[in-house]
Amino acid sequence: MAAMAATAARPDRVVSLREIVADIPDGSHLALAGFAITRNAVAFAHELIRAGTRGLTVTQVFGGFETDLLAAAGAMDCLTYASGSIDRFGLLYAVNRAVLDGSLALSEYSGLALALRLHAGALGLPFVTTRSMLGSDLVAPLVATGQAAEIESPFDGAPCLALPPLHPDIAVVHVDVADRAGNAMVGGPVWSIPETARASRMVDLVAEEIVEVGELDPSRITIPGLLVHAVARVPHGGHPTAVYGHYDFDAAHLRQYAAASNAGGDALDAYLDRFVRGVATFDEYLEEVAP
């Protein structure tokens, strides 16, 4: 039995975006982690749409551009969220249209309540309790579908809402930088990214940049590599949304998308044909938007 030096055998989790998408079967329960117009996994959403993946359930605390894109492409059957918009550029028009025409089943929460369900999933808690949502119309449909229960505290009898843990199959998060073992850093506010990744059975990352293990400050790790299945490098992969410290959102492109999504039909199809289905890679898309 040979002794080894005190240096770590670290796994290499770097793959291509195409490999990440190939591992996602139709009907998967995806957890997304963008927020409106910031840090959306757009390169991933494009690749998923090109792969023709269908029947997805998506959980995302705050929906955004990526969410609407998947709805526009008809990739989603179910959505669980607390809200969605593309900030001042508009609403999630494709999502809202699909909800109203019945092609997308929606479960709605408050922001904290859904973050707590993911948090309970992350920690393996039997269930979590909150006062949020009590009295609101959000409660009844959740209780009816086993997603919430009105109970009393065993300590003081106070009414509270119990929520079961949530365990999506695969979380996909766009990060600033990851090392080759998947230890990843997110700069700026992190909204529900930590618990979205930790609640999921598998975590895939898209990173602006990939470095060697040991180059990142261990105190700045947002997602430990131990939880990560694979990481793909796609610089500018959040376009047209902003990635803090890397690039701003592309206002002109967001306006163009919002108009197409609001119009729907041929206008939205034309957008998808030109920018998503009509290109082979995200690099081609980036050339198309900023030639």
Partner 1 sequence: MSGEEKWTRAEMLAVAGSLQVVDGDVTVVGLGLPQIAALLAQRTHAPTVRLLLEIGVFEPVPAEPAMGIADPRMWKDATAFASTLEVLGVMVHGGRVSLGLLGALQVDQWGSLNTTEVEAPDGSRRRFRGSGGSNDISSNASRTVVIMTHQSRKFSEALTFLTSPGRRIKEQTRATVGLPSQGPCAVVTDRAVIALTDAGAVLESVHPGEQPDTVLADTPIPLNVPAGGPKETPAPTATQLALIRTELDPNNWYTS
Contact set with a second copy (CB under 8 A): 124-131, 146, 149, 151, 153-155, 158, 160, 162, 164, 187-188, 219-220
Label residues 189-218 b or e (16+ Cβ within 10 Å = b). Answer: ebbbbbbbbbbbebbbbbbbebeeeeebee
Lay out the site mask for partner 1 across 53-92 (x = CB under 8 A, - = otherwise). Answer: --------xx-x----------------xxxxx-xxx-x-
289 in contact with partner 1 (CB under 8 A)? no
- For residues 264-283, which are near partner 1 according to CB under 8 A? none
Using CA atoms, how far residue 265 sits from 85, 95, 101, 178, 272, in Å, is: 20, 13, 13, 39, 11
Q: Which is nearer to a second copy, 79 or 116 (CB)?
A: 116
Is the Cα dihedral 214, 218, 220, 222 positive or negative?
Answer: positive
Q: Which amino acid is at 186?
A: V
Q: For partner 1, which residue of 108, 176, 204, 208 counts as binding (CB under 8 A)?
A: 108
172 in contact with partner 1 (CB under 8 A)? no
218 in contact with partner 1 (CB under 8 A)? yes
240 in contact with partner 1 (CB under 8 A)? no
CA nearest to 82, candidates 61, 68, 112: 61
Q: Which is nearer to partner 1, 138 or 210 (CB)?
A: 138
219 in contact with partner 1 (CB under 8 A)? yes
- How far the first Cα of the chain sits from its last, in Å, is 58
Cα gap 73→269, rounded to integer Å: 8
- Closest CB 266 distance from partner 1, rounded Å: 22
- Closest CB 56 distance from a second copy, rounded Å: 24
Cα gap 140→11, rounded to integer Å: 46
